[in-house]
Amino acid sequence: MDVLIIGGGLTGLTTALVLAERGHRVEIFEAKASTCRAASYSVVALSGARTPLSAIEPLPAVERIRRRAFANDGALRWSARAALRHAGFVREALRCSTAESAEQNARDLNAASLLADQLLSDLVGRHGLKMQPSIGLLTLSDDALPEKGPDESDLDDRLAKAALPALADTPFYRHARFNPDARAFSASLLARQVKERLALFPEVKIHTNDAVAALDVNSCGAVVGLRLDSGRSFSGDAVVVAAGVESARFLSEDALGSSCTAPLSRPMITAALRPEAGQTRVGLICKGLFCAPSGETLRAVGPWMLGRENEVKLEDAYRALWNIAVAALPQAADWTKCRYHVQSVLGNPDGLGSVGPTLKPGLWCNAAGGMHGADFCALYAELLADLLDGQSPSRTPVDAWAGRLSPLRYSGT
């Protein structure tokens, strides 16, 4: 099969690698000068988390009404203007924010996280890829933490400091837990490793610095190829949209029926690790901050906000992120010399991706991974490959996710 993939980030590259393993001919089309220059750039991801983030939270009725106006806390935050601009997304998140729906969504995210972690480990092992993983994840909170897993440990202040020596001397939390199975890793490094591995497959080609202008549709309404800004055309048996936040350009209502997807953004700070702080590679979650070592740097990632980069107040977000990072890990990095980034992705209210066929024959989707696009990349790639290969639903543990991750799940189709 000839497969054309729009998007050269971690999602598109991982999808291409799994398809190439199975003998498909793949071409990747990236608008930027090189791959991994958008959301995959300078991103730190988390694999194996037992309580993945979700925009759907159990809220009482009064709180659901309040959040229609403004949400400044929780896993996803939005302003009144963003809520109006992306009303379908907010409406679905609030509609599902009952205790029963939120608990089921949390169970789904947990199961997806564990399966994705296993599949990612398998993919990394098969190809000898590097991830720069942390040796575990330390979670700090003022609130009671969820019920712990069999391998997780509750820690006191002394043990938390031993797990992460760079942690502030003065405790600013009441609960601490360590999970040795959850790993922070450099998504950008993994993406570069996947790209290098793809170079070994002669049936894979990567085109950069030339954006996809339009899809080619035949007289029967099927997508049979694409056209680039340069005027070049390419034909294929399947076109896969994996372009992150730009995927919305190709996933109109005639492809999805209806959609609740929306752009999500989060601020990031990268600072140079101090040599004495780099000995213990532990990821940290506290007060809306996700912080992890990556090579010679420390990456601090803030909370998700609804909207594109130009729709959120980045100055305020960067200031808040810097204050939390310095308070939590004052000696871990040279915080006076920071680089600031923003990651924008396309997301669904349930925090899961959109993977599978659309209403347009020949057009497939591996997008809207949102909060967990990098974390679940292997699960999404394996599922898409199974569906393209014509695997029957529930034939494997991966295929059992076909309905739950369908791009059409909000359309009633």
CATH code, domain carrying 404: 3.50.50.60
pLDDT of 6 reads 98
Structure confidence by residue, pLDDT tens digits, 335-351: 988 999 999 999 999 99
Average pLDDT on 152-156 reads 94
No. of helices (H) and no. of strands (E), the chain: 10, 21
- Asked whether residue 5 falls in the same domain as residue 15, the answer is yes
Q: Is the per-residue pLDDT at 353 higher than 60?
A: yes
Choosing from 301, 318, 347, the residue where a domain stops is 347
Looking up tokens 């190809």 gives 127
Q: Which tokens sit at 201?
A: 């497959």
- Asked whether residue 336 falls in the same domain as residue 358, the answer is no
- Asked whether residue 286 falls in the same domain as residue 299, the answer is yes
The count of structural domains within the chain is 3
Which are the contacts of 173, defined by CB distance < 8 A and separation ≥ 6?
140, 141, 142, 286
- Asked whether residue 25 falls in the same domain as residue 112, the answer is yes
Average pLDDT on 50-69 reads 76
Q: Is the per-residue pLDDT at 406 higher than 80?
A: yes
**Beta carbons of 138 and 176 less than 8 angstroms apart:** yes
pLDDT of 34 reads 85
Confidence of residue 68 (pLDDT cuts 50, 70, 90): low
Element containing residue 11 per DSSP (H, E) = helix 10-21
Distance CA 285, CA 99 (A): 24
- Asked whether residue 343 falls in the same domain as residue 241, the answer is no
- Asked whether residue 224 falls in the same domain as residue 367, the answer is yes
Q: Which tokens sit at 353?
A: 């991706």
Q: How far is CA 139 from CA 53, 145, 167, 182, in A?
A: 13, 9, 12, 11
Domain enclosing residue 79, as ranges = 61-93
Q: Position 112: which residue type? A: A
Choosing from 347, 380, 396, the residue where a domain stops is 347
In 3-state terms the chain splits into helix, strand, coil percentages (rounded to 5) of: 30, 25, 40
Which are the contacts of 145, defined by CB distance < 8 A and separation ≥ 6?
139, 154, 175, 177
Quote the pTM value. 0.94
* CATH assignment of the domain containing 341: 3.30.9.10
Between 328 and 34, residue with greater pLDDT = 328
User: Which residues does residue 383 pair with via DSSP β-bridges, in sequence order?
Assistant: none
- Asked whether residue 245 falls in the same domain as residue 373, the answer is yes
Q: What percent of the chain has pLDDT over 90?
A: 65
- Asked whether residue 254 falls in the same domain as residue 399, the answer is yes
Q: Is the dihedral of CA 60, 66, 71, 76 positive or negative?
A: positive
- Asked whether residue 354 falls in the same domain as residue 384, the answer is yes
Give the SS3 label for residue 82.
helix
* Distance of alpha carbon 18 from the chain centroid: 18
Confidence of residue 171 (pLDDT cuts 50, 70, 90): confident
